[in-house]
Structure 1
Amino acid sequence: MRTPLIRTAAGLGVCAAALAPAGALAGAASADTGRQPLAIEQTLFTGDPWPVSYQTYSVSTAAPGTARVTVDRQCNSFNRGLCLHYTRGGSIFWLNTADGRTGRAAIADGADPGSSTLIRTGRGAVLFTITSGGAPTTLVPAGGVATVG
């Protein structure tokens, strides 16, 4: 006989299995942004208008030693064509692996898709981790390494 706790754990296992491709993409992202932006994906528990969503961030070189982090729309994780006209924002943590510098930046909750922020990271390989900026809980943070020229 299954107890409510076991049923809940089994349900979460199914949910995690459905989200595994998004998490695999977020954890494995790595690219040279000198030519093409690095796209990294974040998965959120949102509750409204649907329980789980994702949003994509792109990282590119804006100027020498400066990264541009741009947020795209928030979309349904199970029906990727169903998207909102606003974003959930994000808290951006970065580490320049070449010189050890670190910092934080943010994109405001409710920002329009395409909103971005400029971050003076210095040149080299920079590790980015992005968690939710507003109320939703981050299920899979966005993360990846970009080369800032």
Structure 2
Amino acid sequence: MTKLLLLGLVALPLAATSAHAQGTRKLDKRFLKADIDNNNALSPLEFQATQGKRVSAAYSRFRFNRADTDENGAISLNEFRASKAGTTNGKASRLDIFLTADLNDDDELSPDEYIDTLPPRVAYPKAIRSFDKRDKDDNGGLSPREFGIRRFPL
């Protein structure tokens, strides 16, 4: 009985190490597949290819910015592993998505910026109808309130 317990205690860390190595191999394969130019770094566009099919462009940029710890505009293999493909740095809030999508920093989302907040498979006409429905003041841009943010930092 004691020998069996000891054997189980020794095997447990080995199983955990094996699972970790398998997870690292999967991440490495995803990284290498997405690194189209073979420069051992992922650009924001290459990084987006590693994200799920339902992840919006803005959410992917949010994850990219969080994973790019050295802020050099590219994700190295080590950064990719550390962030587990960008999934370990918390969930983005609506405010995070708004600020990431607002590429020109005018505190409004244009139709193209708004479309970046939607899942990639949303058809363009449907996205424009959604934008028009939210644009209550018909000024051609979505304010934070129209986007669904109650409190916007000044």
- The structure having more radius of gyration, on CA atoms, is 2
TM over 0.5: no
**Which structure exhibits the higher relative contact order, with contacts defined as CA atoms closer than 8 Å and separated by 6 or more residues?**
1
Q: Considering fraction of residues, name the structure with more strand.
A: 1
The structure with more helix, counted as a fraction of residues:
2
